[in-house]
Amino acid sequence: MDLLLDAICVVDAEGRFVYVSAASERIFGYTPAELIGTQMIDLVYPDDRDATLATAREVMTGQRKNHFENRYVRKDGQIVHIMWSANWSADEQLRVAVAHDITERKHDEAMQAAVYAISEAAYGAEDLGSLLGQIHQIVAALLPVSLFCVALKDQHQGTLSFPYHSDRHTPGCALASPSARAISAEIIGSGRAVLLTPDSTPEGPTSLPTLDRQSLNWLGVPLLSQHATFGALVIQNRDSIAGYSLKNKELLQFVSTQIATAIQRIQMQSRLQFMSHYDQLTGLPNRTLLYERMDRALLRARREQDLIALLYLDLDKFKQVNDSYGHGTGDLLLQAVADRLRQCVRASDTVSRIGGDEFVVLLEKVDQTGHALAVAEKIRTVLNQAFQLGKHSLMMIPSIGIAVYPEHGEDHKALLEVADKAMYFAKKSGGNRIELAGRAG
């Protein structure tokens, strides 16, 4: 029996080892002499103990068990996957079992399953937060995880952000710990993985802060694009007796390739979504998004019998700014106007740029027409203040037309046309004024 690759284990009715073959040292890390007399259940991975004890009780009733799988913790702290075949000897009152090490097979299966799961998550996730939440669950199925965070580097500004952070020990806290931040920065800066355990020497990092060696159980890998490291995935294990290993590092590095691809795909989708719905110069909603929000607002207004107001705004003599100071200054002016418009309305309202120097403000849940007139006057007053753009101090005055649902139109097209005509009348009347549809000649 000592020549067999599988370990033969004999356990008494109280769960103590009374015999183990020589293969136990290769599989569990303990010599037969170290195991005899110890409790079998003490070696079982904590999460698998209940199922193991239930199966042992079934075996002791005479049921033969083949291909039962569980996890054990080796002497060196690593996790080993075991497939058991066990039988009960009623005469001897002993359980006789054969332990077959299936760690390599489980490792390969886990990697393959993770790759498929990440691919599915990448195509099914609606946004980056949703994707990273699913990846957290996938990684947690591979490795013990009490802290999970993803750091991303802004390629233009060089700053780090943490779009996802989860820590069982501080639930609800969205801020990455100083240690997680330092390890993430080290990984992104060096482009190398980090493995920190109480019994190992850090691999490469030299700028990490001094940490309590007994609490060290960190594993982090870089997220790579074709040209550079753009992020890091960092995990910590504080809930399990098993420490991270080089094998764990290899596994996480393997799946990090798929994770990086998935993250970049979602980021690209987000950029395309932004470009299709927002003005690239000012960051305001464009005409397409304005129409969508107007249609939703009209549905709510019909259902709840609310008023909606539309402010159509044009900058008087904006062309002269471009002609006199150049298009660069004109762009800066449009951005400054957008910032001031945002400050004049509620978060629930929409400020959009629909082209050139034309802006539209959608006011929802308006109590009365006077509310729209008050907002328009606030906008006119704010825009009448000088814009300091570099060495130029520029004055820019608006013409504003107002249309109100349902008085001036039933759909977004009608409301825009009426508000546009009112704005044109304000401009023809000298500019720097507000005209309400129906009052505008």
**7-101 shares its CATH topology with 106-276:** yes
| Least confident window among 46-50, 203-207, 308-312, 327-331 | 203-207
* pLDDT, tens digit, 9 for 90 and up, residues 8-52: 999 999 999 999 999 999 999 999 999 999 999 999 999 899 999
Nearest-angstrom CA–CA distance, 329 and 332: 5
Question: Residue 234 pairs with which residues in a beta bridge?
Answer: 149, 220
Q: Burial code of 187-219, b = ≥16 C-beta within 10 A, e = fewer?
A: bbeeeebbbbbeeeebeebeebeeeeeeebbbb
206 pLDDT tier (thresholds 50, 70, 90): very low
Are 354 and 320 contacting, i.e. CB atoms less than 8 angstroms apart?
no
User: What is the overall mean pLDDT for the chain?
Assistant: 89
Predicted model pTM: 0.63
Instruction: Choose among 130, 159, 162, 160: nearest CA to 147.
Output: 162
pLDDT tens-digit series, residues 256-275: 999 999 999 888 888 888 88
For the domain spanning 106-276, the CATH number is 3.30.450.40
Q: What is the DSSP string of 89-153?
A: ETTTTEEEEEEEE-HHHHHHHHHHHHHHHHHHHHHH-SSHHHHHHHHHHHHHHHS--SEEEEEEE
Residues present in the chain in total: 441
The per-residue DSSP string of 31-87 comes to -HHHHTTSBGGGGB-GGGHHHHHHHHHHHHTT--EEEEEEEEE-TTS-EEEEEEEEE
> Mean pLDDT, to the nearest integer, of 62-76?
90
Q: Please determine, for residue 205, whether its predicted confidence score (pLDDT) is greater than 50.
A: no
Q: Which amino acid is at 434?
A: I
Best-predicted range by mean pLDDT (171-175, 215-219, 237-241): 215-219
For residues 262 and 118, the answer to whether their CB atoms sit within 8 Å is yes
Domain boundaries, the chain: 7-101, 106-276, 287-436
CB 383 within 8 A of CB 398: yes
| Percent above pLDDT 70 for the chain | 93
What does the pLDDT average to over 211-231?
A: 81
The single-letter code of the amino acid at 243 is G
Task: Tell me the average pLDDT across 122-126.
Answer: 83
* Residue 62 confidence (pLDDT) above 70: yes
Nearest CA to 229 out of 334, 139, 116, 150 is that of 150
Choosing among 3.40.50.720, 3.40.1440.10, 3.30.70.990, 3.30.450.20, the CATH entry for 7-101 is 3.30.450.20
Angle at 28 between CA 23 and CA 31, to 5 degrees: 60
CATH value of 287-436 in 3.20.20.80, 3.40.50.1240, 3.30.70.270, 2.40.10.220? 3.30.70.270
Is the confidence at residue 300, as pLDDT, over 70?
A: yes
Q: Say what the pLDDT of residue 95 is.
A: 94
Q: Tell me the per-residue pLDDT of 378-389, one tens digit each, with 9 for 90 and over.
A: 999 999 999 998
